[in-house]
Amino acid sequence: TPAKEGKMFLKALFDYDPYEDKAIPCKEAGLSFKRGEILQIVSQDDATWWQAKHEGDANPRAGLIPSKHFQERRLALRRPEILVQPLKVPNRKSSGFRRSFRLSRKDKKTNKSMYECKKSDQYDTADIPTYEEVTPYRRQTHEKYRLVVLVGPVGVGLNELKRKLLISDTQHYGVTVPHTTRPRRSQESDGVEYIFISKHLFETDVQNNKFIEYGEYKNNYYGTSIDSVRSVLAKNKVCLLDVQPHTVKHLRTLEFKPYVIFIKPPSIERLRETRKNAKIISSRDDQGAAKPFTEEDFQEMIKSAQIMENQYGHLFDKIIVNDDLTVAFNELKMTFDKLETDTHWVPVSWLH
Ligand code: 5GP
């Protein structure tokens, strides 16, 4: 088996401290780890306790970690509600505008069966983040760039960062052109500001799952299609996409190999200090009417970031704290440079 040969690597999707674990037979024998760390699996012989080391750790001694099955089972038993109700993240664009990606049939079924078999101890564990098998991946020069997904709460500065990155190299970075059903304005051209389509076609496209996200605004639909991402990548550009974090799981495919960056606010004290004279643009239609940040905006931003991190943190490849914009931008730029040159851990399913 790959584990026996020491060739199995798992990305931890949760934090683990054996000293907090009542079930572990011997706390000293446990291996502690943090979400996002890569573990090399040494043995899976025991159904409940696997043996693992931190990847790259020269120390040959392995420690005990809960097996995937065991961890899933006890989490499901302890917190069945996490399986059933995804937490609502406050809308990052305009309120009530962005609608969630349609639940796929499988999701619906999964949720339903989870409701139904609460008592029977048979959970569908697909949505419990435990471990993900990963493998090293380095982009070859002939390959398309990976999709880069930026997520973060309203007002955190994600759009400024995106804009700065775009203008830093317009040949290299690209963004998607959204679809809309509203009439084209005279100064606009089809395919530039928007791709203009009929309501009927938009609805058909929604039915056929052509959109990553879409919403309704003043009786018109707007949305980002999967094909619009493809066309940026086809131009041999790095595609920058900002979406709600719940859409990320639909994008995690071999084709896009998304790299997910979470833009995180600093502490509330730092927000007060650094954003005192700044303005918040809460949605694209507020562009002309940016308002100064209020204390509530800061609190909302922190709360929303916490919810995102708790619920979707296992999907984040990188977290960048936007305290000072210039510092955050440099970190972002460095992250992009590394993404193109370095080896990264990706799900094994992306390589075939
Ligand atoms: P406008 O019609 O003035 O160009 O844009 C109206 C609104 O459409 C904007 O406030 C913006 O929030 C929304 N919008 C533009 N593009 C997209 C998109 O790709 N997806 C979603 N959900 N909304 C969009």
C-alpha 135 to ligand 1 mean position (Å): 38
Cα-to-centroid distance, 72 and ligand 1 (Å): 39
Q: Got the DSSP string for 35-83?
A: TT-EEEEEE--SSSEEEEEETT------EEEE-HHHHHHHHHHH-THHH
Ligand 1: does its nearest atom lie under 6 Å from the Cβ of 213?
yes
User: Which of 122-126, 184-188, 306-310 has the weakest average pLDDT?
Assistant: 122-126
**Would you tell me how many other CB atoms lie within 10 Å of the CB of residue 46?**
11
Fold of 133-351: Rossmann fold (3.40.50)
Question: Apex CA 17: angle with CA 304 and CA 110, to 5°?
Answer: 55
Q: Is the CB of 225 under 6 A from ligand 1?
A: no
Q: Write the pLDDT tens digit of every residue in 30-65.
A: 999 999 999 999 999 999 999 999 999 988 889 999
Q: Is the pLDDT of residue 334 over 70?
A: yes
- Region 304-326: mean pLDDT is 97
pLDDT higher than 80, residue 264: yes
Residue nearest to atom 11 of ligand 1 (CA): 284
The fourth-level CATH superfamily of domain 8-75 is: SH3 Domains (2.30.30.40)
Q: ipTM value, please give it.
A: 0.97
Residue 142 has pLDDT above 50, yes or no: yes
Atom of ligand 1 nearest to the CA of 224: 19
Q: In 3-state terms, what secondary structure has residue 267?
A: coil
What's the CA gap between 351 and 134, in Å, rounded?
Answer: 10
Residue 8: its H or E element? strand 8-12
Q: Which of 102, 176, 284 gets mutated to test ligand 1 (max ligand atoms within 8 A of its CB)?
A: 284
Q: Is the CB of 336 under 6 A from ligand 1?
A: no
The C-alpha atoms of residue 150 and residue 243 are separated, in whole angstroms, by 7
Q: What is the mean pLDDT of the chain?
A: 87
Residue 284 CB less than 6 A away from ligand 1 = yes
**Beta-carbon count within 10 A of 172 CB:** 14
Residue 244 Cβ < 6 Å to ligand 1? no
| Protein residue whose Cα sits closest to atom 12 of ligand 1 | 284
Does ligand 1 lie within 6 Å of residue 15's CB atom? no
Which residue CA neighbors atom 6 of ligand 1 most closely? Answer: 285
Q: Closest residue (by CA) to atom 14 of ligand 1?
A: 222
Candidates 175, 185, 186, 285: which one to mutate for ligand 1, based on the most atoms within 8 Å of Cβ?
Answer: 285
Which atom number of ligand 1 is nearest to the Cα of residue 287? 10
Instruction: Please give the residue that has the higher pLDDT: either 251 or 1.
Output: 251
**CA distances to 86, 175, 183, 208, 213 from 199, in Å:** 30, 23, 11, 14, 16
Reported pTM: 0.86
pLDDT in tens, 78-118: 765 555 444 444 444 433 333 333 333 344 444 433 333 33
Q: Where are the domains of the chain?
A: 8-75, 133-351
pLDDT at 333 over 90: yes
